[in-house]
Amino acid sequence: MLSTFFLSLLALTNLNVSASPLDARSIAARSTKPVVATWYGGWHATEGFPLSSVSWNKYNTLYYSFAETTRDVTSLSLTDSDGELLPKFVSEAHAHGVEAHIAVGGWTGSIWFSSNLATAKNRTAFVRTVVDFASKYKLDGIQFDWESPNDQGIGCNTISVYDTANFLAFLQELRENPKAKKLTLSAAVGLGPFFNAAGHPLTDVTGFAKVLDYVAVMNYDVWGSWFPTVGPNAPLNDSCAASANQQGSAVSAVKTWTAAGMPVDQIVLGVASYGHSFSVPPSDAFKSHTKKLVAYPAYNASNQPLGDSWDNTGGVDVCGVYEAQGGTFNFWGLIDNGFLTKEGTPADGIYYRYDACSQTPYVYNERSQVMVSFDNVQSFAAKGKYIKDTKLRGFAMWEAGGDYKDMLLDSIIDASKCS
Ligand SMILES: *[C@@H]1O[C@H](CO)[C@@H](O)[C@H](O)[C@H]1NC(C)=O
Ligand SMILES: *[C@@H]1O[C@H](CO)[C@@H](O)[C@H](O)[C@H]1NC(C)=O
Ligand SMILES: *[C@@H]1O[C@H](CO)[C@@H](O)[C@H](O)[C@H]1NC(C)=O
């Protein structure tokens, strides 16, 4: 959601993208090896997905989620993500020849990015915080998951019209820090570039392309309970959809980011091993007099289904606001809850539709009236093929623990030829 308050503020100039002396070197030194990555949610280690369950030999990068920003620019917090586990995560990764990165921020952990980067003094302090954190834990990379510069995010983030400019200045300073030389730096980003001071997506991200190794485009949660109809969680394409249903996709994101100057080989496609659920009465779910599922049906927003056993059951968020259950089902959760067989195909009595434009499968349980938009082997293969055809840098899956017997992972590795 754009913050209209800030939109009306001064039309400030964009960014100072002047080249720093290290740019040429950092570009020359930049690796171009494919990124085969996933996020590991530390809090799931004790909920059925310990480190030993990770298919370490299939990835080359894992992001530990999350180190959260704090009001103190000299510290990052691991309290919500099992801080004790991070050193074990790093040694496990290294034992398998996998790069261990920390993901900083996240949806609930971005509250203090803006103030931590607000002044030259704070940026210098935060550079030190980040490089010290990386040294302490022997990390190979840092991913900034600021959701999102000059955007309210979860609702109580510190925010400034200068966020994006400050973010770039911070990354430039970090890149020049001798202790950060060997670190892979990335950012988890939305479908469009960061907002400039006027609240519009940047039209020139070449400054970021110089200091970041890559961006991971979070092409998921594109559709959810905030739209009046059911739609794709993680659409591959939307330019083939009716205009009302063009809410962004991998195709639109790659188009926007590359048009702003991000090279395709610095774009990693974020993919989802989970789906979103909606409560849809049969009268809306089926085409009349048939049992064929309708595309983009209406649903009952006041009846958000509960997702699988990893779904939050509702509670007060970090901003002190009550949030209902998310309604997300991991791929294994769709099997657990009887939507899919152990082969990942629709279970008996479950209705199924595959949308060819967005490359999205849907399942529907008529008795519980729950419809889920998710990803399966077929849609992961389509995304993998797109990565290969478009020559993107690779993929990153949210999250490692969402898959079932590596069915999704194997599919996208095979189709993308990334390994
Ligand atoms: C800089 O960081 C300090 C300490 O973390 C914080 O109190 C202060 O508000 C920050 N400055 C700005 C302008 O946000
Ligand atoms: C996306 O849709 C457009 C319009 O139909 C089509 O030209 C393009 O090939 C599609 N791209 C992919 C990757 O499916
Ligand atoms: C939507 O769900 C609410 C809560 O369960 C229920 O009270 C209401 O009757 C439902 N509306 C329709 C149109 O089914």
Q: Dump pLDDT digits (tens) for 70-84.
A: 999 999 999 988 889
Residue 281, ligand 3, Cβ within 6 A? yes
Which ligand has the shortest distance to the CA of 283?
A: 3
pLDDT at residue 15 above 60?
no
Q: What is the pLDDT of residue 27?
A: 47
Cis status, amide bond into 323, omega within 30 of 0: no
Residue 309, ligand 3, Cβ within 6 A? no
Which ligand has the shortest distance to the CA of 75?
A: 1
pLDDT at residue 275 above 60?
yes
Q: What is the pLDDT of residue 419?
A: 78
Ligand 1 pocket: which of 68, 73, 75 to mutate (most atoms within 8 A of CB)? 73
Q: What is the mean pLDDT of residues 378-406?
A: 98
- pTM beyond cutoff 0.95: no
Which ligand 2 atom sits nearest the alpha carbon of residue 251? 13
pLDDT at residue 17 above 70?
no
User: Distance between CA atoms of 129 and 361, rounded to whole angstroms?
Assistant: 43
Residue 302 Cα to ligand 3 midpoint, Å, equals 6
Sequence length of the chain is 419
User: Distance between CA atoms of 250 and 358, rounded to whole angstroms?
Assistant: 9
Confirm if 276 and 373 have CB atoms less than 8 A apart: yes
Residue with CA at minimum distance from ligand 1 atom 13? 118
Helix (H) or strand (E) holding 24: helix 23-29
Phi and psi dihedrals of 337, rounded to 5?
Answer: -100, 15
Give residue-wise pLDDT tens across range 294-323. 999 999 999 999 999 999 989 999 999 999
User: Distance between CA atoms of 413 and 381, rounded to whole angstroms?
Assistant: 8
pLDDT at residue 16 above 70?
no
226 pLDDT tier (thresholds 50, 70, 90): confident
Q: What is the pLDDT of residue 296?
A: 97
Residue 200 Cα to ligand 2 midpoint, Å, equals 26
Q: What is the pLDDT of residue 25?
A: 39
pLDDT at residue 19 above 70?
no
Residue 116 Cα to ligand 1 midpoint, Å, equals 6
Q: What is the mean pLDDT of residues 175-182?
A: 96
Q: Which residues line ligand 1 (CB under 6 A)?
A: 71-73, 115, 118-119, 122
Q: Which residues line ligand 2 (CB under 6 A)?
A: 237, 239-240, 251, 386
Q: What is the mean pLDDT of residues 131-144?
A: 98
Which is higher by pLDDT, 419 or 50? Answer: 50
Q: What is the mean pLDDT of the chain?
A: 93
Q: What is the pLDDT of residue 356?
A: 97
Residue 330 Cα to ligand 2 midpoint, Å, equals 27
Which ligand 3 atom sits nearest the alpha carbon of residue 300? 1
Which ligand has the shortest distance to the CA of 255?
A: 2
Q: What share of the chain is helix, strand, coil (3-state, %, to 5)?
A: 30, 20, 50
Q: What is the pLDDT of residue 29?
A: 53
Q: What is the pLDDT of residue 72?
A: 98
Of all residues in the chain, the percent with pLDDT exceeding 70 is: 93
Residue with CA at minimum distance from ligand 1 atom 10? 115
